[in-house]
Structure 1
Amino acid sequence: MKMKSLQDALYNWLTIKVVSDARPDDTAAKETVELFEEILVSDYHLANIEITTDDVMYYVSFLQEGESKKQRFPREVIEVILNQINDEPDKYCNFPAEEEE
């Protein structure tokens, strides 16, 4: 899966990462984060990806081919999916990994 732009890939990764961090038992969210991380690394050559926040923004800093870069995203945009899940949790059940015996 190839994202149209680095910004799209970071947006998708950050959106699901926020959900995954808030729902550590949600294996589908975790697997989706891993998929987008693979895209960021293999397609866009990112390393040392870090997230910081303030009241208004998420900041994603990273190295891309040795160059330090940073992008920012409004919290209200990134947290839309998490807010939907929190508002209607019965529509978004967790699917934890099946225990192996």
Structure 2
Amino acid sequence: MKDTLFLLRPGFEDPAYPGQVFYCWHCALMEGVLASFPDLHEKLTVHRIAWPRPRMELVNLLGEAHQSLPVLVLAEGGFIDDKDAILAALTERHGFPHPHP
């Protein structure tokens, strides 16, 4: 089993902001890192899911309280839901370069 990175599919609408289309900038950051290092991307499973809640794929894995994205679900159990901690895990666990300070 591989670590699994869950991201929001870009181009979603939020009923609180009628007529606008959005992307999650934390997820877009992850997408950019993945695209920049496609050979390393192969070490992960990536799921892009829809914006509306409940996000049942996450609810089934992590529980209803943990639906924020991005989230990295670790192969051995547990998860990371902070963008900086996810980037650090991609470096430590999968050989991605370090983000420049």
TM-score (norm 1): 0.27
Structure that is richer in strand per residue: 1
Structure that is richer in helix per residue: 1
Specify which structure has the bigger relative contact order, considering alpha-carbon pairs within 8 angstroms and separated by 6 or more residues.
Answer: 2
